[in-house]
């Protein structure tokens, strides 16, 4: 729960970003975050152990795909859509379009009751 590293926009690496986005579960996470809303980790439901989820969120963060904010014991995550679009124009849009079309990472959901109006408890 220490300070997380976030690469600067200009440090984003295309191969690393592609690798981060090549796992179905991580694609599912990106889809859940695609509306731009900030989500608490507690809202995220994925069919893996919490340590595994933590690992995947770390991969996304290290690659610069997401940004993590800490508040007390709780963490919130957002998609760095603007940074990604600046560096790799069209990539996220293409990924989301393709992922939605075939429901890649469909095992990832939001907790029931959570909506995009900011229901972070």
Summarize as ranges the residues that interact with DNA (CB under 7 A): 1-2, 4, 19, 22-23, 25, 40-42, 48-52, 54-59, 68, 72-75
Binding string to a second copy for residues 31 to 70, with x set by CB under 8 A, is what?
A: ----------------------------------------
Q: DSSP label at 112? A: T
* 3-state secondary structure at position 40: strand
Are 80 and 63 spatial neighbours (Cβ–Cβ below 8 Å)? Answer: no
User: Near a second copy by CB under 8 A, which window of 11-19, 30-38, 74-82, 106-114?
Assistant: 11-19
97 binds a second copy (CB under 8 A): yes
């Amino acid at each position: 729960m220490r300070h997380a590293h976030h690469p600067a926009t200009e440090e984003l690496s295309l191969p690393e970003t592609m690798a981060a986005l090549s796992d179905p579960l991580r694609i599912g996470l990106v889809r859940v975050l695609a509306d731009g809303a900030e989500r608490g980790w507690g809202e995220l439901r994925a069919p893996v152990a919490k340590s595994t989820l933590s690992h995947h969120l770390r991969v996304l963060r290290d690659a610069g795909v997401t940004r993590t904010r800490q508040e007390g014991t709780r963490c919130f995550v957002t998609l760095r859509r603007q940074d990604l679009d600046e560096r790799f124009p069209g990539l996220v849009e293409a990924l989301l379009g393709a992922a939605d079309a075939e429901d890649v990472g469909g095992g990832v959901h939001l907790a029931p009751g959570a909506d995009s109006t900011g229901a972070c408890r």
